[in-house]
Amino acid sequence: MRASESLFFEIRGLRYHVRRWPGDRTPPLVLLHGWMDVSASFQFLVDALAPHWDVYAPDWRGYGLTQWSGADSYWFPDYLADLDALLERLSPQAPVHLVGHSLGGNVAALYAGVRPERVATLVNLEGFGLAPTRPEQAPARLRRWLQELRAPPRLRAYPSFAALADRLQANNPRLARERAEFLARHWGRVEPDGTVTLRADPAHKVVNPVLYRYEEARALWREVAAPVLWVEARDSDSAQRMKLAPEALAERRAAFRRLRFETIADAGHMLHHDQPARLARLIEDFLGA
């Protein structure tokens, strides 16, 4: 297993944790994790990459070893601002190779449209946006948000890291026990009562009061100048759960100027856990091209 080191930065008032797997290849490869995930989730992918890559993976605000925001909910634009500030620390003079999974893929795709000069290449793993919304949905969404603030969510407690590993395997039958136990140790932390909970601020589970505006996201995607590798997992049900038909996904891919589309077989939404070697070869082939 390739060894990593922990770096800490003061970013927009928070102590940010960035995991680094050192290498001598430039520009760096920056990996962005998904919702309720942590940077160590990319360990298996990094192990499958050539060792010369200089790889950085932040824990988003309120996840992993990064400080919680202290707010009662999280705002999506903060991820963009955090990423902008982080890249100024990690690679101030040169654009980076940006790889994002799920939430991280959505952030990466939007950021590459806002700051096209900062992104050399973009790899989007299952980060295809959310379902379109309508303005008339706003009243109900805001009412739901206010109600959830009155009764903040709590994270499930597990009796041990082994029990958390059991849950990870139940959620993903492809996940080998050794990998599940590794992830449990990084995803979980021991509470004062001895139970184990995820290393995440429960406020991440509060519904977003701001509706997802598909037209705005698509306008940003059109501004992306970097070559894009869009990767979907063949057995993922994420698009179906968001009621995105194949035609809708094709329309989203078409918004990018220079896009290569790939699918990975025998993989679900957590494709970097299920098929890290195949994914690594795709990424390295794309970056080499």
> Which residue, 199, 231, 252, sits at the end of a domain?
199
Same domain membership, residue 163 and residue 143? no
Q: What is the pTM of this model?
A: 0.97
Give yes or no for a contact between 98 and 123, defined as CB atoms under 8 angstroms apart.
Answer: yes
**In terms of residue numbers, what domain contains 140?**
5-154+211-288
Dig out the tokens for 8 from the structure. Answer: 């800490």
Q: Rounded CA gap, 28 and 54, in Å?
A: 5
Is 206 a domain residue?
A: no
Is 205 a domain residue?
A: no
Instruction: Choose among 16, 61, 101: nearest CA to 201.
Output: 61
pLDDT at 25 over 90: no
Same domain membership, residue 169 and residue 142? no
Q: Rounded CA gap, 212 and 15, in Å?
A: 28
Q: Rounded CA gap, 204 and 225, in Å?
A: 31
| pLDDT, the chain, mean | 96
Across 51-70, average pLDDT: 97
- The whole-number pLDDT of residue 26 equals 83
- The whole-number pLDDT of residue 144 equals 96
Give percent of the chain with pLDDT exceeding 70: 100
pLDDT at 45 over 90: yes
Same domain membership, residue 219 and residue 105? yes
Same domain membership, residue 181 and residue 272? no
Same domain membership, residue 219 and residue 100? yes
Q: Rounded CA gap, 39 and 149, in Å?
A: 28
Same domain membership, residue 133 and residue 232? yes
Label each residue of the chain as H, E or C: CCCCEEEEEEECCEEEEEEEECCCEEEEEEEECCCCCCHHHHHHHHHHCCCCEEEEEECCCCECCCCCCCCCCCCHHHHHHHHHHHHHHHCCCCCEEEEEECHHHHHHHHHHHHCHHHEEEEEEECCCCCCCCCHHHHHHHHHHHHHHHHCCCCCCCECCHHHHHHHHHHHCCCCCHHHHHHHHHHHEEECCCCCEEECECHHHHCCCCCCCCHHHHHHHHCCCCCCEEEEEECCCCHHHHCCCCHHHHHHHHCCCCCEEEEEECCCCCCHHHHCHHHHHHHHHHHHHC
Number of domains in the chain: 2
pLDDT at 268 over 70: yes
Give percent of the chain with pLDDT exceeding 90: 96
Same domain membership, residue 131 and residue 32? yes
Give yes or no for a contact between 221 and 113, defined as CB atoms under 8 angstroms apart.
Answer: yes
Same domain membership, residue 254 and residue 150? yes
Please report, for the chain, how many H helices and E strands are present, in that order: 11, 10
Across 249-269, average pLDDT: 97
The residues facing 121 across adjacent strands are 97
Residue 289's pLDDT band, with cuts at 50, 70 and 90, is: low
Give pLDDT tens digits for 200-250.
999 999 999 999 999 999 999 999 999 999 999 999 999 999 889 999 999
Query: What is the residue whose two structure tokens read 């909970």?
Result: 197
Same domain membership, residue 261 and residue 167? no
Q: Rounded CA gap, 146 and 173, in Å?
A: 36
Instruction: Choose among 146, 151, 152: nearest CA to 203.
Output: 152
Dig out the tokens for 176 from the structure. Answer: 């080998």
Give pLDDT tens digits for 67-126.
999 999 898 899 999 999 999 999 999 999 999 999 999 999 999 999 999 999 999 999
Same domain membership, residue 164 and residue 271? no
Same domain membership, residue 191 and residue 81? no
Across 256-277, average pLDDT: 98
Q: Read off the CATH number of the domain in which 32 is found.
A: 3.40.50.1820
Same domain membership, residue 263 and residue 231? yes
